[in-house]
Amino acid sequence: MRVGVSSSGGHLSTIRLRDIAAAGRHHEALDLFRHALRHSEPFLSVSSILPSAILSAAALSLSPAAAQLHSLALKSGLLPADPFVLTALLSAYSRLRLLPLACRLFDEVPSSAAPTSAFNALISGHALAPVSSPAILALFLRMRREAVPFDDVTLLALLPAAPPVAIPPLHGVAFRAALASVSSVSNCLLSCYSRVGAVDFARQLFDEMPDHRKDLISWNAMISCYAQNGLAHQVLDLFDTMEHSASVEPNAVTLIGVLSTCAYLGAHSIGRKIENYISQKPSFDSNTYLKNALINLHVRCGDLARARTIFDEMPQRTIVSWTAMIAGYGMHGHGEEALRLFDKMIEVGIRPDGIAMVSVLSACSHGGMADKGMWYFSSMKTAYGVVPSRAHYACVVDLLGRAGQLKEAWKLIESMPVEPDGPIWGALLGACKIHKNVELAELAFERVIELEPTNVGYYVLLSNIYSDAGRLDGVARVRAIMRQRGLKKDPGCSYVDHKGKVHLFMADDHSHPQAKNIYEMVLRLEAMVKNDSEMYGSKRKENLPLTGFHSEKLAIAFGLLNTEAGAEIVVIKNLRCSVLSGPLLKP
């Protein structure tokens, strides 16, 4: 359709509108569109400016405007034939979460006349919906049946939403269409493999990429892959390689991956180096994601004051910033401060999500505030619209359990609207250990082992409960089941970074040069905690050799023996011992 009266150069509006919309100035874009229509510029086709206007309306969440533009398109005779208008509308309805409208529009397109871009828009729209993979795969199959060519964009929309089993066949499809070597597609495949834990496949893809196709995103995806799969040593190794390979410069996303690994390892010194590097780059200064990663680093390494300073100085805080800080106070036993911060978050108008509530409940649990925790748990649905998930139940079972209310914890599990999972029964089992309840422990163990038959931790826990109760028959039985199922006790290890040297401790480990002093220290500490000097003497005499010494206790004792009062001791436990050979952890 041509609308033309005015004298100004028509196509200028088209170009300006696109640029303005692309720059994110959507209000201006819509104003310009209205202006162009009203003044009917010559040689200006509505079809050339309508797609940008439609997408601007969607970007501003203006459903009525999108619907108006839709009817304008109909009146102008642009639907369903104009592929650009059609695709923009499909994309707009998808982004406005009006998927039914998108589907209805798509159905009006004559079969096999729909362009690739229309399918792509609809697939992306379905990918935004919570349970979408069947619908998406159906769309893709229909595309192939109707011989509509697919492209890289199709795969980028399809792959992240596809179920794990569909990834390898889709990889094959991409390969045969000569799309698997397109950087964006191979990066996407890499993250898909990462997400399902297929780290080796991801690495293989990474290694197979020729250097000129390996871009910053490829490096970031591989680093995040290692980080998310807990392979800390590999993260630091790859980051090191990246820094020495001149072609790409790390960006904020790279550093977030590395920082999360430092947080996981408690590698405070490396993390601080990265923080220092960041502080010299003004462009990183306003990156909220990066600040959140730094908060998490300091929180996990025990430097709450530094974490809080970063938090306080942030120009913008997201719910992630608040949650990281609340969780930090919670995990270090500052329950009151955690709740104060939570109240403040509510005050500034941030509505907590499920994860924020997990951090609140666990702060209550670790801070011994059972009543407060129960209050938050029972009110969170009405107050904040957070429906309790299994993670919340696990927190509350832990909370009741620690407080000695084992029966109530059991009743809560029984009353759950969904089936309890391993961590929930595990929390009850842990509470049984604290309160020495063998009967309930046996019941909880039976359930937890049905759900997680190979989780060695639960066997060890029950064995220790029997051992505490002097029930050696039980200990033997648990050991027999473990043997029968081919399960081996994971050697728990803890380490301390002291003066640039890493000191590793295993449970009941006597190999350290200071072993004698360390064991003395543990016994003293235990006696202090129990406020029972009798125990110190008795355990010392009767236990030869000494057993039941957690690796973590040994590491803490070592730290206390070798540092000044008030010095920071960071103990990291239960990591795969392989991380200790990492290059960055050496002095």
Partner DNA sequence: GTAGGGTTAG
Binding residues (CB under 7 A) for DNA: these are 18, 22, 47-48, 51-52, 55, 82-84, 87-88, 91, 115-117, 120-121, 124, 151-153, 156-157, 160, 183-184, 187-188, 191, 215-217, 220-221, 224, 227-228, 251-253, 256-257, 260, 263, 289, 292-293, 296, 318-320, 323-324, 327, 353-356, 358-359, 362, 389, 391
Question: For residues 236 and 324, which CB has a smaller minimum distance to DNA in the complex?
Answer: 324
Question: For residues 457 and 548, which CB has a smaller minimum distance to DNA in the complex?
Answer: 457
Burial class of residue 348 in the structure, from the number of CB atoms within 10 Å of its CB (0-12 exposed, 13-18 middle, 19+ buried): exposed
Residues 6+ apart with CB under 8 A from 246: none
Question: For residues 18 and 272, which CB has a smaller minimum distance to DNA in the complex?
Answer: 18
One-character DSSP codes across 303-335: -HHHHHHHHHH-SS--HHHHHHHHHHHHHTT-H
State the nearest-atom distance from the C-beta of 52 to DNA, in Å.
Answer: 6
Token duo for residue 147? 């011989």
Question: For residues 215 and 240, which CB has a smaller minimum distance to DNA in the complex?
Answer: 215
Is residue 162 a contact partner of residue 133, using CB atoms and an 8 Å limit? yes
Residues 6+ apart with CB under 8 A from 555: 494, 495, 496, 503, 505, 571, 573
Alpha-carbon distance of 396 to 203, in angstroms, equals 40
Residues 6+ apart with CB under 8 A from 320: 292
State the nearest-atom distance from the C-beta of 524 to DNA, in Å.
Answer: 32
Is residue 79 a contact partner of residue 88, using CB atoms and an 8 Å limit? no
Question: For residues 32 and 440, which CB has a smaller minimum distance to DNA in the complex?
Answer: 32
Question: For residues 210 and 470, which CB has a smaller minimum distance to DNA in the complex?
Answer: 210
Number of Cβ within a 10 Å radius of residue 174: 23
Alpha-carbon distance of 340 to 329, in angstroms, equals 10
State the nearest-atom distance from the C-beta of 533 to DNA, in Å.
Answer: 37
Alpha-carbon distance of 522 to 558, in angstroms, equals 9
Indicate the length of the chain as a whole number. 587
CA 583, distance to chain mean position in Å, is: 26
State the nearest-atom distance from the C-beta of 84 to DNA, in Å.
Answer: 4
| DSSP H helices in 405-549 | 406-414, 422-434, 438-451, 456-468, 472-484, 515-530, 533-542
Question: For residues 123 and 428, which CB has a smaller minimum distance to DNA in the complex?
Answer: 123
State the nearest-atom distance from the C-beta of 15 to DNA, in Å.
Answer: 9
Alpha-carbon distance of 218 to 257, in angstroms, equals 13
Alpha-carbon distance of 97 to 185, in angstroms, equals 26
State the nearest-atom distance from the C-beta of 486 to DNA, in Å.
Answer: 30
State the nearest-atom distance from the C-beta of 64 to DNA, in Å.
Answer: 20
State the nearest-atom distance from the C-beta of 495 to DNA, in Å.
Answer: 20
Question: For residues 416 and 487, which CB has a smaller minimum distance to DNA in the complex?
Answer: 416
State the nearest-atom distance from the C-beta of 298 to DNA, in Å.
Answer: 12
Q: Which of 190, 203, 122 is nearest to 160 (CA)?
A: 190
Phi, psi of 233, deg, nearest 5: -55, -45
State the nearest-atom distance from the C-beta of 353 to DNA, in Å.
Answer: 6
Which DSSP helix (H) or strand (E) runs through 503? strand 501-506
Question: For residues 327 and 461, which CB has a smaller minimum distance to DNA in the complex?
Answer: 327
What does each C-alpha distance from 134 to 127, 138, 143, 324, 423 come to in angstroms? Answer: 10, 6, 14, 35, 30
Question: For residues 25 and 471, which CB has a smaller minimum distance to DNA in the complex?
Answer: 25
Phi, psi of 557, deg, nearest 5: -60, -40
Question: For residues 217 and 441, which CB has a smaller minimum distance to DNA in the complex?
Answer: 217
What does each C-alpha distance from 26 to 31, 126, 168, 215, 424 come to in angstroms? Answer: 9, 24, 40, 31, 48
Question: For residues 390 and 550, which CB has a smaller minimum distance to DNA in the complex?
Answer: 390
State the nearest-atom distance from the C-beta of 556 to DNA, in Å.
Answer: 21
Say how many CA atoms lie within 13 Å of 84 toward its Cβ. 9
State the nearest-atom distance from the C-beta of 316 to DNA, in Å.
Answer: 11
Composition of the chain by helix, strand, coil, percent to 5: 70, 5, 30
State the nearest-atom distance from the C-beta of 391 to DNA, in Å.
Answer: 5
State the nearest-atom distance from the C-beta of 129 to DNA, in Å.
Answer: 13
Q: Which of 134, 190, 194 is nearest to 158 (CA)?
A: 134
Question: For residues 365 and 437, which CB has a smaller minimum distance to DNA in the complex?
Answer: 365
Residues 6+ apart with CB under 8 A from 52: 17, 18, 21, 29, 33, 88
State the nearest-atom distance from the C-beta of 109 to DNA, in Å.
Answer: 13
Question: For residues 129 and 482, which CB has a smaller minimum distance to DNA in the complex?
Answer: 129
Question: For residues 117 and 405, which CB has a smaller minimum distance to DNA in the complex?
Answer: 117
Alpha-carbon distance of 272 to 286, in angstroms, equals 18
> What residues does 505 pair with on adjacent strands?
494
